[in-house]
Structure formats: structure tokens, C-alpha cells
Amino acid sequence: MEGAIQLINLGKRFIGDGVETVAVNRINLTFQPGSFTAIIGPSGSGKSTLLSLIGTLDKPTEGTIRFGDRDVTKMRTRELADFRFHEIGFIFQQFHLLPTLTALENVMAPLFARKVDFNKKERAESLLRDVGLEEKRNALPSQLSGGQQQRVAIARALVNHPKWILADEPTGNLDTESGKAVFNLLKTLNKEKGIGILLVTHDPNLARQADRTIELRDGSVAFDSEGLALSGSP
Ligand SMILES: Nc1ncnc2c1ncn2[C@@H]1O[C@H](COP(=O)(O)OP(=O)(O)O)[C@@H](O)[C@H]1O
Ligand SMILES: [Mg+2]
């Protein structure tokens, strides 16, 4: 299981006003390194919660998450921040770019106060080139289209060579064409650089193009194309 993400009896409950919500209900899944998985399901089915747990942005109330042989559910805050910095890039529906920074500065932002063994500016410039935005390096987010902002966010997610990209509805705020471009970029990163992708999406057309599709319902796995392939063979 070198480098695989393993979810073991993973659960998350929220308690508010005395009412308990089971957002993620004892999920068991494994994601192989370099795989491309789409996670679909109706609104409120637990997709974002699951992704936040896997990304160590939120803590589970039950179960274990392993990245290879590392149990991230046992890590402390400081250690987790370093772990995320080295292993995971995030992309969100709302881009979350810093409005007063240029495209180039936004890409470099995760490296602030970090020591790395590469040239930060050159790395950021080369990533902006990869996402087709070299000429927008000095533009502010407000001067970019939604699709361009999301491509800056993808460059930012890649800046420290993550093994995984976790994307929560990254095309949700984009028109069909820009959404396709963003999806194809993720696909290329997966195929050419071997980056593992977990993509939450509403769009069945995009989900179909992933290597694996998982559907959540009420916090549980209702469908897993991989499980189907295994148990469905004669
Ligand atoms: N911080 C929170 N506090 C209370 N309930 C939450 C919180 N976050 C999510 N939930 C609840 O957990 C369930 C799953 O939410 P979410 O993971 O956002 O679903 P999805 O991303 O599939 O729309 C929903 O019922 C939602 O209301
Ligand atoms: Mg969501």
C-alpha cells in the first residue's frame, strides 16, 4: 500500500442545537497513488466533509486515515500543516485567491516562510506557463476570468510538488468551456505527472471521464465503480 490513501471506518458527526448529523458514516475506501477518482452524490451527502477529512483540514470523529504507512489521524496540528504542505494541493469552487496579490504571488503564497530546495519564483513562473497564464503573471484576481482564476489556483496547488490534488467542485462556478479546460488540466496532471486526484463534482459528464467513480448518499458509499468491476467479473 505504498503511498495509498486508506480510509478505515471513517466517520464524522456534527452536533448542533442538540441535533446530530452523521455527515460521513463509517467509510472504508482505498485510493491508489496516481489514481483519478470522481466523487459524486446529491447535495448534503457528505462529499465536502469527506474531502476535508482526507485533506486533514477537519478531524474525524471515528476511524483512521492513512497515507502510506502514516496515520494522519494521530498527527498534531503542526505536523499536519507540514504534512499537507508536502503531500496535498487543494482546489475549491470559490478559487480562494488572495485579492491583493498578483497571479504569480498567489502561486508563490504557500511557500511563504517555507524553506524549499527550488527557486520559488522560477517554479511559480513555470507553473503559470503550464496552465497557460504566463502573460497574466502580474494580473490581480479581479482582472481574471473565473476559468483563469481557477487555473491560477491549480498552479498554486502544484507549487510544492504534491502527490495528491483534492478538488471540491472546482468547475462549479465555471461555464461549460472553462470547466472542461480545468478538468482537462487535472487529467493531464494525472496522466503526465502521476498526481493522484480526488475530484468532487456535480457534473456526471466529468465524473464519467475519471478512472473511478464513487457515489455518496447520506454519508455512505452507495456506488463504487471499482468495487463493481471486482465483484462483477464472472
Ligand atoms: N460544520 C458543520 N456543522 C454542522 N453540520 C455540517 C457541517 N458541515 C457539514 N454539515 C452537514 O453534514 C452533511 C454533509 O455536508 P457536506 O459534506 O457539505 O455535503 P456535500 O458536500 O455533499 O453537499 C450535511 O447534512 C451538512 O448539513
Ligand atoms: Mg460540498
* pLDDT (tens digit per residue) in 89-132: 999 999 999 999 999 999 999 999 999 999 999 999 999 999 99
**Which pTM was predicted?**
0.95
Strand partners, 92: 168
Find out whether 10 and 28 touch, Cβ atoms under 8 Å. Answer: yes
Lowest-confidence region among 4-18, 66-80, 148-162, 218-232? 218-232
- 52 touches ligand 1 (CB under 6 Å): no
Report CA(13)–ligand 1 centroid distance (Å). Answer: 9
pLDDT mean across residues, the chain: 95
Report CA(154)–ligand 1 centroid distance (Å). Answer: 25
Q: Environment class of residue 22 by beta-carbon count within 10 Å: exposed (0-12), middle (13-18) or buried (19+)?
A: middle
- 118 touches ligand 1 (CB under 6 Å): no
Residue 202 pLDDT = 87
Residue 233 pLDDT = 47
Find out whether 217 and 42 touch, Cβ atoms under 8 Å. Answer: yes
Three-state SS for 5-60 is EEEEEEEEEEEECCEEEEEEEEEEEEECCCCEEEEECCCCCCHHHHHHHHCCCCCC
Q: Is the pLDDT of residue 4 over 60?
A: yes
Residue 82 main-chain phi, psi, to 5 deg: -65, -40
- 23 touches ligand 1 (CB under 6 Å): yes
Residue 229 banded pLDDT, cuts 50, 70, 90: low
Strands 5-16 and 19-31, sheet pairing: antiparallel
Report CA(223)–ligand 1 centroid distance (Å). Answer: 20
- 232 touches ligand 1 (CB under 6 Å): no
